[in-house]
Amino acid sequence: MPKTKLRQPSALWVRHHLKELVGHLPPADEKWSWSDSPLPHRARCNLRERGLIVKTEDGTWQCTESLCDAVEVFAGERGISSDEIYAENC
């Protein structure tokens, strides 16, 4: 498995659920509301529990850099371009 900044259990989860994340993941620098996220609800809950998405001071949510980095690594392994990874209009 390629090297990521995530601990192994989280890295394995991200790798296993890559299809749920690709095309639905907001970029790390973008804040979004829980209800408007294109990520599946179950995925959001798992990411929150793993500390891979965090609630900001203004009550919105944001992906961590380590989550986005890991998704880029695993997507690259499967030939998915970085243009395909992130959702538009979160």
Cβ proximity of 68 and 14 under 8 Å: no
Specify the pLDDT at position 87.
Answer: 83
Taking 90 as the threshold, does the pLDDT of residue 34 lie above it?
yes
| pTM for the whole structure | 0.89
Please compute Rg for the chain using Cα positions: 12
Would you kindly state where each structural domain of the chain is located, as residue ranges?
8-80
Could you give the angle at the alpha carbon of 62 between the alpha carbons of 52 and 74, nearest 5°?
A: 50
* Each residue's pLDDT tens digit, 39-85: 999 999 999 999 999 999 999 999 999 999 999 999 999 999 888 99
Could you give the angle at the alpha carbon of 53 between the alpha carbons of 66 and 17, nearest 5°?
A: 75
Specify the pLDDT at position 82.
Answer: 84
22-44: average pLDDT = 93
